[in-house]
Structure 1
Amino acid sequence: MMRVTHFMKSLMLIWVFFSVMLVLLFRWLPLPTTSFMLQQRLSADASCSSIRYQWTPWPKTSKQLAIAVIAAEDQKFATHWGLDFTALKSALQTRLKTGKIRGGSTISQQVAKNVFLWPAKNMFRKSLEVYFTLLIELFWSKQRILEVYLNVAQFGECTFGVEQAALQYYHIKASELNGWQAARLASVLPNPVIYRVDRPSSYVVKRSNWIRRQVKQLGGFNYLSQFVAKGK
């Protein structure tokens, strides 16, 4: 029994060590791919044999989209430590009442899920998501978290990251996106396969308008100045 316990403790320490090293590695290095991209490419019913993805560093990405995704997905991004406890409480209440796991993830949680984990909706996977979220918040800056999110978020079928989304839908570079284009891209993030940038439903149009209003209420680019280094 003692040997089993010792073995389990050793496995846990190895897991913690390698997970921390992986998070530290991607604090600086561009991500060559993500767990979600690999799963889409390798799944038995994969429709994405070719993934459209191109890493774009923060200075060349879209600040318009940066503030748009914050307005759409996580307006407390600058101040929380990766977890929105109000949203988590609401999701837990829904879980207890209906048995369903509801959304409410922060941008940091979405980065943790997309980069390191898989899309299953169960408590074990959510627990790992919380673990990686806390590691990311501990070792990465807010600017780095947002930079990674803009690069790995899915904006359409087989299309990941702001650079490919800008080229695919607007035929421009990410840095050239205007406010309306950024809002349209951010509006499909809840489900970029169902909601389309190129063929927007009435929901996508309404959500785009709502995001634009929220961007103004947040103060636009001034919101980014809370955590973005000057001159970057």
Structure 2
Amino acid sequence: MKRFWKWVRNIIICLFLLSILQVVIFKFVPVYYTPYMVSNNITQLFTEGKIECEHTWVPLDKISPKLPLAVVASEDNLFMDHSGFDFKQIEKAQDEAEKGKRLRGASTITQQTAKNAFLWHGKSYIRKGLEAYYAVLIEFIWGKKRIMEVYLNSIEMGENIYGAEAVAQKHFNKSANKLTAGECALIAATLPNPKRFNSAKPSNYIQKRKAKILSLMGKVPPVNFD
């Protein structure tokens, strides 16, 4: 039994060190492929017999500065100030759930980035726990600029379309650094469900969300990484 617990301890230490190594590596190396992309591709292969995955990594300075502002305004307006978690939003979501209201997400951009870069999608306490752990690591090791860079390159922005450059090319026929404020707001408007909503063919609902996000973009603090 003593030997067993020693093995358990050693495995935990190895996994801990491996996770830190992962985060350190991806502080400098582009995240060309994520676990979510792999999962989607495997599903496609077995259900459709083919793989579709639009993704081109570009550095943050090759993305319109309006896009970070749009996603902060839409998804996480305290991104530049919090340490990875928006506890007020978490508490609000819990209160609404207890009152029987529809469950809504309270994940920050940091948490979404941790999930996209290192973990699988799904609802479980284990995954949420690991997401929180990786969120702390990337806030400490990466910092806000790198978190935003990975987020804008890895998040799904359309059906099988990942990242700013891919959606800019596919939906607007231009590079990500040429996106206008309105186009950035449209992309941000689709993020709650990019498989359902299309920034190239926005519904009336998405147009309304776009208008709201554009308004918020003028009110949230500037997203300045310098």
How big is each residue's C-alpha offset from its partner over 1:166-206, in whole Å with a ceiling of 9 and x where there is no partner? 01111011000010011001100001011111221222111
Given that residues 172 and 200 in structure 2 are in contact (C-alpha distance below 8 angstroms), is that contact kept between their aligned partners in structure 1?
A: no
SS in 1 for 2:33: coil
Deviation digits for residues 90-143 of structure 1 (CA, Å, limit 9, x no counterpart) = 334455566986411000000011111111111111111000100010101201
- Rounded to whole Å, the distance in 2 between the matches of 1:113 and 1:2 is 35
What amino acid is the match of 2:141?
Answer: F
Counterpart Cα distance in 2 of 1:189 and 1:25: 27
Which residue in the other structure is 1:183 paired with? 185
TM-score under structure 2 length normalisation = 0.93
Cα offset, 1:17, TM superposition: 0.4
Tell me if structure 2 keeps the 8 A contact 1:107–1:149. yes
Query: Structure 2: which amino acid aligns with 1:224?
Result: V
Equivalent in the alignment of 1:14:
14
Report the TM-score when normalising by structure 1.
Answer: 0.91
How far apart in 1 are the matches of 2:171 and 2:162? 12
Question: Match of 2:219, SS?
Answer: helix
In the alignment, structure 1 residue 204 sits paired with structure 2 residue 206: yes
Aligned match of 1:27: 27
Which is further off, 112-121 or 39-48?
A: 39-48
What do residues 146-179 of structure 1 show as CA deviations (whole Å, max 9, x unaligned)?
0111111111111001001101111011000010
Q: Secondary structure at the match of 2:131?
A: helix
State which drifts further: 17-26 or 88-97: 88-97
Secondary structure class of the residue paired with 2:52 = coil
Give the CA deviation at 1:209: 0.5
Deviation, 1:46, is 6.0
Matches within 5 A, 1:4-153: 4-43=4-43, 44-45=46-47, 49-94=51-96, 102-153=104-155
